[in-house]
């Protein structure tokens, strides 16, 4: 266990910088997709130097199974982000809830364009300042967004696609920092899954396709929060 902790601390210093504090609960027990060194090695590979023109990049699910992501040129990633953000039926301006539905729909939009995305989940005490909430901020116990691999020069970087909190793709370090850079910020889990996994309850499931029940729930959720977003917008006019 000591070796796992040391490896975890070393990888965290790469991913999050020297000031990142290891959540105490990770020292107490091994969480799926967090304390396994081979998984963290895969995630820290978000900034690997590459010498070949890779079209796909492999990551590990919390169960340790590999899945592939499309590798995009940096400009293509930015263009896709903008296109996702312009999808008016996805309520990005109602960030209080529904990230699971937004992420699910975004991966499907990208898949129709031949882009295979994954998902990145962050669990913990999360808080984001945003003008899209009357309170000026939103709090989550978890957040999920699509994940793509990007070729930037001679480097391969994992980017989070999150129009609900950002105006452009974010590195994992940036995406985590936005949600945890507050006095009570805490990370309890950070892991990647294939695009088919819908919520944290699917963490250990190896899904190979979109489930009908999830697709139905996605559409219902998007419509519900789109209505709330529209109502809020009218009240603010």
149 to each of 34, 106, 172, how far by Cα in Å?
A: 20, 15, 11
Q: Considering the chain, what percentage of its residues have pLDDT values greater than 90? A: 65
Average pLDDT, whole number, for the chain?
A: 82
**174 band by pLDDT with thresholds 50, 70 and 90:** very high
Q: Which of 173, 99, 89 is nearest to 139 (CA)?
A: 99
Q: What is the mean pLDDT of residues 42-55?
A: 52
Residue 190 has pLDDT above 50, yes or no: yes
Report the alpha-carbon distance of residue 79 to residue 104 in Å, rounded.
Answer: 19
pLDDT over 60 (residue 169): yes
The predicted structure's pLDDT at residue 78 = 97
Q: How many CB atoms lie within 10 A of CB 10?
A: 13
- Minimum mean pLDDT range among 10-24, 82-96, 112-126, 220-234: 10-24
pLDDT at 53: 56
Lookup: tokens for 117: 């995305």
Look-up of token digits 């009357």: 134
11-20, 136-145, 221-230, range with the lowest pLDDT: 11-20
Domain boundaries, the chain: 48-236
Contacts for 91 with CB less than 8 Å, ≥ 6 apart: 98, 102, 222, 225, 226, 228, 229
When pLDDT is averaged across residues 156-161 and rounded to a whole number, the result is: 94
Comparing 22-36, 81-95, 131-145, 169-183, the range with the smallest average pLDDT is 22-36
Q: Residue 30: is its pLDDT beyond 80?
A: no
Asked whether the predicted pLDDT for residue 158 surpasses 60, the reply is yes
Pairing of strands 66-73, 137-152: parallel
Pick from 8-12, 23-27, 154-158, 168-172: least confident:
23-27
> What local confidence, expressed as pLDDT, does residue 49 receive?
52
**Tens digits of residue pLDDT in 5-28:** 333 333 343 343 333 333 333 322
Domain 48-236 = CATH 2.40.10.10: no
Query: Mapping DSSP to helix (H, G, I), strand (E, B) and coil, where does residue 66 land?
Result: strand
Q: How confident is the model at residue 54 (pLDDT cuts 50, 70, 90)?
A: low
Q: Rounded mean pLDDT of 149-174?
A: 92
């Amino acid at each position: 266990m000591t070796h796992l902790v040391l490896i975890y601390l070393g990888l965290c210093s790469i991913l999050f910088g020297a000031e990142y504090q290891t959540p105490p609960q990770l020292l107490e027990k091994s969480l799926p997709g967090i304390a396994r060194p081979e998984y963290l090695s895969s995630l820290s590979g978000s900034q690997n130097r590459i010498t070949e023109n890779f079209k796909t990049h492999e990551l590990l699910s919390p169960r340790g199974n590999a899945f592939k992501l499309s590798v995009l040129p940096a400009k293509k990633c930015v263009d896709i982000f903008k296109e996702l953000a312009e999808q008016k039926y996805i309520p990005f301006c109602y960030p209080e809830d529904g990230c699971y539905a937004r992420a699910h729909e975004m991966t499907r939009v990208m898949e129709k364009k031949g882009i295979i995305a994954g998902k990145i989940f962050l669990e913990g005490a999360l808080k984001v300042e945003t003008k899209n909430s009357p309170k000026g901020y939103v709090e989550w116990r978890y957040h999920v967004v699509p994940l793509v691999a990007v070729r930037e020069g001679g480097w391969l970087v994992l980017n989070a696609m999150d129009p609900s909190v950002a105006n452009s793709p974010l590195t994992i370090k940036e995406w985590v920092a936005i949600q945890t850079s507050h006095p009570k910020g805490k990370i309890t889990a950070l892991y990647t899954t294939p695009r088919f996994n819908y919520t944290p309850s699917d963490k250990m499931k190896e899904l190979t396709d979109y489930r009908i029940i999830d697709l139905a729930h996605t559409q219902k959720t998007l419509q519900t929060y789109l209505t709330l977003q529209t109502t809020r917008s009218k009240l603010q006019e």
